[in-house]
Amino acid sequence: MKSPKEISLEKKILEDTPETSHARTVLEILIQDTEVQHLQEYANTVSLVRLGYNDHGPVHMRMATRNAVRIMNLLHESEIKTSLEQENAGTFDDSLSAVILAAFLHDLGMSMGRQDHELFSMTLALPVIDRILREVFPDREDKRMIIRSLALEGIIGHMASRRIHSLEAGVILIADGCDMEKGRARIPLVLNTEPRAGDIHKYSANSIEKVGIYRGETKPVKIAVEMSSDVGFFQIEEILLPKLNMSPVKPYVELHAGISGGDLKKYV
């Protein structure tokens, strides 16, 4: 059974996705897909219980999807063309479909473990992507292959461990990195009380109060991160900033961060 948080996020993503678009249909199928739900839930069990890591399950993948759709819409409103549009290979709707698939499925590989999980995510996501695209575009094999390739690039590139080249995959990098509010670290902090290597990730994430994605002041997208203590800067400088620096979307993004109630430091 889905949690209230999952249902709330699904509603918000649907509200931000054009009602008559193919991307909306893709999203609706993903939301109702029981195979995807089971994989997401088990990925979270492995991440939280077995590995003592933070949330990599249904809520996180929905948060990443919400962030990605928000960024895509802001870019589109500023008339920034996606890679498919620039290459005359597809429409914004096609790009958004690929981004939604990638964001919603990008951490399925955590069901096997942390190492190389982006590769395993791609393997597990492939049949799901093929199944959904056949339903949405039954007579357009060319379109299915393009959207599939783009979605897989977003999945395999989300760890910033390999160079990506499309704007769409770059959106996944940033959308994933922006899910770092303290709720994501709450469960591993409760489950694991013994000190262990890597705790800085949990404690720094627990200090992040809010991550907002807005229309930028000088660029199309503004990311504003508010935190309760300086330890949160670890999340900015070790997690989010490297992903932003690897993303083809970086020229269109402002990043601000600081202690809640104070002035936010501008990184880019």
Q: Is 15 helix (H, G, I), strand (E, B) or coil?
A: helix
What pLDDT score does 189 carry? 45
Q: What's the pLDDT at 186?
A: 46
Domain extent for 199: 183-266
| Last residue of one domain, picked from the residues 145, 173, 201 | 173
pLDDT over 70 for what percent of the chain?
A: 92
pLDDT in tens, 52-81: 777 788 999 999 999 999 999 999 999 999
What does the pLDDT read at residue 230? 87
* Segment (H or E) for 214: strand 208-215
Check: CB of residue 234 under 8 Å from CB of residue 204.
Answer: yes
For residues 153 and 65, state if they share a domain: yes
Mean pLDDT of 147-160: 97
State the pLDDT at residue 140.
96
Whether residues 132 and 210 fall in one domain = no
Q: Please choose, from the candidates 176, 175, 207, the residue with its C-alpha nearest in 3D space to the C-alpha of residue 189.
A: 207
Of the residues 138, 173, 208, which one is the last residue of a structural domain? Answer: 173
**Is the distance from CB of 205 to CB of 180 less than 8 angstroms?**
yes
Residue 70 lies in a domain: yes
In this structure, the answer to whether residues 81 and 125 fall within a common structural domain is yes
Q: Look at residue 178 and tell me if it is in a domain.
A: no
Strand 208-215: give its sheet, edge to edge.
208-215, 221-227, 253-259, 265-266
Calculate mean pLDDT across residues 170-185: 84
Query: Is residue 113 one of the residues assigned to a domain?
Result: yes
pLDDT for the residue 187: 47
- Whether residues 157 and 187 share a domain: the answer is no
Task: Report pTM.
Answer: 0.92
> d(Cα 203, Cα 208) in Å, to the nearest integer?
9
152 part of a folded domain? yes
**Please, where are the H alpha helices in 78-222?**
83-86, 92-105, 117-136, 141-156, 167-177, 183-191, 199-206
**pLDDT band for position 262 (cuts 50, 70, 90):** confident
Average pLDDT over residues 210-233: 94
Indicate whether 150 and 51 sit together in one domain. yes
Closest CA to 104 of 59, 135, 47: 59
Whole-angstrom CA distances from 65 to 13, 86, 131, 157, 161 are 7, 23, 19, 15, 20
Say if 234 falls within a structural domain.
yes
Q: Are residue 35 and residue 162 in the same domain, yes or no?
A: yes
Give the pLDDT mean for 89-104. Answer: 98
User: Are residues 61 and 162 both part of a single domain?
Assistant: yes
Within-domain flag for 40:
yes
**Mean pLDDT in residue range 147-162:** 96
Average pLDDT taken over every residue of the chain: 91
Distance CA 60, CA 47 (A): 12
Asked if 145 and 20 sit in the same domain, the reply is: yes
**Same structural domain, 137 and 207:** no
Same domain, 162 and 202: no
Count of the separate structural domains present in the chain: 2
Say if 258 falls within a structural domain. yes
Given a cut of 90, whether residue 227 has pLDDT beyond it is yes
State the pLDDT at residue 48: 84
* Residues 134 and 11 reside in one and the same domain: yes
pLDDT digits 0-9 by tens, 184-213? 554 444 445 555 545 566 677 788 999 999
In the predicted structure, residue 47 carries a pLDDT above the cut 70: yes
Note whether 169 and 187 are same-domain residues: no
pLDDT above 80 for 223: yes
Domain-embedded: residue 193: yes
Q: What does the block give as tokens for 216?
A: 């930028």
Percent of the chain with pLDDT over 90: 76
pLDDT at position 155 is 98
Q: What is the pLDDT of residues 116-145, one digit of tens each?
A: 999 999 999 999 999 999 999 999 999 999
pLDDT of residue 49: 86
Last residue of a domain, which of 150, 173, 196? 173
